Amino acid sequence: MSVELQGVRLQLARFALAVNATLAGRITGIFGASGSGKTSLLEVIAGLRRPAAGVVRVDGVTLTDAPAKVFFRPERRGVGYVPQDGALFPHLSVRKNLLFGHGEKQIRPTGLNFDHVSEVLEIASLVDRRIETLSGGEKQRVALGRALLAAPRWLLLDEPLAGLDAPLRDRLLPYFVRVRDEFSIPMIYVTHSPDEVMALCDDVLLIEQGRVEYQGPPRKVFVPATGARYELSRGGLVR
């Protein structure tokens, strides 16, 4: 199970994204400051952006090959995508949001059914609600459930906890752990929070100005800080 990025290049406003990496963790973190190119990289994997150069392979299947002009459309990639704000469809109920991509796929991993996903994410009581009545945390759980019910091969999560306050983030983190443990769907988790990387990820890519500065275990680059939190080690890698 891997996402291979070979010579992926995409011109952004201030710099070019240039990435060579193989992501093979159960949850791979993509960590970097705002505007470092994290979201753009995720969009390249999801097929929402075409890179100028490079190859993207997911589990051995070539989804993008810029020189050979191979490009699978987003709907044919089998990747679940959860953006920062959840992007729930405001004109549909929670239930219809959850079922939006459900049933599109022939092969469905066991356990990925409506009842089980609702139970794991504790959203069964929300299904008849309107989107605008949900709290921030509820929205993110519904967005995660919706992506899961489309039975993706990979889940791409773009700062799903950014914009929420710290106590709420702490309450939501266990849901991602449960999803990781229950459904065995590999995830790529974009964040600028060292705590989220340490809590969830077994592999991390540090991105700065569109380039990978480090890839490996999170504990080598994050050190404990005050208040049971973590921070990026100032001197770079912790040897």
**Beta carbon nearer to another protein, 126 or 148:** 148
- Binding residues among 132-171 for another protein as defined by CB under 8 A: 146-147, 150, 156
Query: x/- contact string, 169-208, with another protein (CB under 8 A)?
Result: ----------------------------------------
What pairs with residue 204 in β-bridges? Answer: 29, 216
CA distance 86 to 79: 15
How far does Cα 56 stand from its chain's mean position?
A: 16
Q: Does 41 bind another protein (CB under 8 A)?
A: no
List Cα–Cα distances, 163 to 160, 191, 231, in angstroms.
8, 11, 19
Closest CB to another protein among residues 92, 173: 92
Is 3 near another protein (CB under 8 A)?
no
In this chain, which of 17, 46, 63, 66 binds another protein, going by CB under 8 A? 46
Q: Which of 32, 47, 51, 218 binds another protein (CB under 8 A)?
A: 47
Q: Kindly state the tokens that stand for 221.
A: 């680059």
Torsion of CA 130, 132, 136, 141, to 10 degrees: 30
Each residue 75-94 as x (binds another protein by CB under 8 A) or -, in order, gives: x-x-xxx-x-x-x-xxx---
Which residue is associated with the tokens 């449960």? 178
Q: Give the CA angle between residues 182, 188, 194 to the nearest 5°.
A: 100
Could you tell me if 192 and 185 are in contact, meaning their C-beta atoms sit under 8 angstroms apart? Answer: no
Q: Determine, following the binding rule CB under 8 A, whether residue 74 of this chain makes contact with another protein.
A: yes
- Which one, 79 or 221, has the nearer CB to another protein? 79
| Contact yes or no for 89/96 (Cβ under 8 A) | yes
Which pair of structure tokens corresponds to residue 85?
Answer: 């704000």
> Which parts of 92-131 interact with another protein (CB under 8 A)?
100-101, 104-105
Contacting positions for another protein (CB under 8 A): 46-48, 73-75, 77, 79-81, 83, 85, 87, 89-91, 100-101, 104-105, 146-147, 150, 156
